């Protein structure tokens, strides 16, 4: 009869599975995943809890296991600008591993979340032995850079409706149904607007029968008309 797995064994198995599902570590040999799992720790966050603040010394990088973490900066006037909302399977703060100035932004849970802390010293030691892992981390950081470039493109769309239409066109499916990965408040923050303004924009699109909203599900009623409306807002037609 096989032995019952010990709690520590079950925990390591769970952590290894989480690491394997992350693009950063997918494809690494099981032995390497086990090493990372052993020195990683679980951080539980309630909604509104901060994972780190801008300028804090880096403790390591993170992997979202469940929930959502909003990475943002705050302007001198106090305005919060969301950089990205990281969700299950996504890694963040890899760049801080090589930075002497600490974390470049703030990170706050926008819902109850669990993240893995991959501490700085042991992961850097592992990278030193495994150059392929360094290349993976570069790839992950380049993906974050593409997100930032896309965000800058979106913010050049001054009109909130144009930013929302752009988001809908990017996330639309053949079936026309889009499920919000978080709350409408989180989407408003991603679009750089207020919840009230987003709600008014949703209402306008509903009244024109371009969009149906049912809780956290959105259905584009006429994708071609939505594209035409977006091009018109850009002054292309």
Query: In this structure, which topology does domain 7-149 adopt according to CATH?
Result: Jelly Rolls (2.60.120)
What's the CATH number of domain 160-233, 3.40.190.10, 1.10.10.10, 1.10.3720.10, 2.30.130.10? 1.10.10.10
Global confidence as pTM: 0.63
Confidence of residue 146 (pLDDT cuts 50, 70, 90): low
Domain ranges of the chain: 7-149, 160-233
* Domains 7-149 and 160-233 in one fold: no
pLDDT, averaged across the chain: 80
Is residue 3's pLDDT more than 50?
no
Residue 59 confidence (pLDDT): 93
Q: pLDDT tens digits for 161-195?
A: 888 888 888 776 555 678 876 777 778 877 777 78
Q: How far apart are CA 138 and CA 24, in angstroms?
A: 9
- Say if CB 117 and CB 41 are below 8 A apart: yes
pLDDT in tens, 30-46: 888 888 999 999 999 99
Structure-token pair, residue 174: 């053949």
* pLDDT band per the 50, 70, 90 thresholds, residue 6: very low
Which of 108-112, 138-142, 197-201 shows the highest mean pLDDT? 108-112
Among the ranges given (57-66, 121-130, 172-181), the one the predictor scored with the smallest mean pLDDT: 172-181
Query: How would you label 49-77 residue by residue, b for 16+ Cβ within 10 Å and e otherwise?
Result: eebbeeeeebbbbbbbbebbbbbbeeeee
């Amino acid at each position: 009869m096989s032995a019952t797995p010990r709690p520590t064994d079950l925990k390591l198995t769970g952590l290894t599975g989480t690491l394997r599902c992350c693009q950063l570590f997918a494809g690494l040999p099981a032995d390497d995943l086990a090493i990372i799992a052993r020195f990683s720790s679980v951080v539980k966050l309630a909604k509104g809890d901060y994972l780190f603040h801008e300028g804090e010394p880096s403790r390591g990088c993170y992997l979202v296991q469940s929930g959502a973490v909003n990475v943002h900066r705050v302007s001198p006037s106090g305005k919060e600008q969301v950089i990205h909302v990281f969700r299950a399977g996504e890694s963040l703060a890899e760049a801080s591993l090589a930075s002497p100035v600490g974390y470049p932004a703030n990170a706050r849970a926008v819902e109850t979340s669990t993240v893995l802390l991959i501490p700085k010293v042991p992961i850097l030691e592992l990278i030193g032995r495994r150059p392929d892992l360094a290349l993976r981390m570069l790839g992950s950081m380049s993906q974050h850079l593409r997100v930032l470039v896309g965000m800058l493109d979106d913010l050049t769309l001054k009109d909130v409706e144009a930013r929302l239409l752009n988001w809908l066109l990017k996330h639309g499916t053949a079936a026309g149904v889009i499920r919000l990965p978080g709350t409408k408040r989180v989407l408003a923050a991603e679009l750089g607007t207020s919840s009230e303004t987003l709600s008014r924009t949703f209402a306008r699109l509903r009244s024109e029968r371009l969009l149906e909203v049912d809780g956290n599900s959105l259905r584009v009623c006429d994708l071609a008309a939505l594209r035409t409306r977006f091009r018109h807002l850009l002054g292309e037609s």
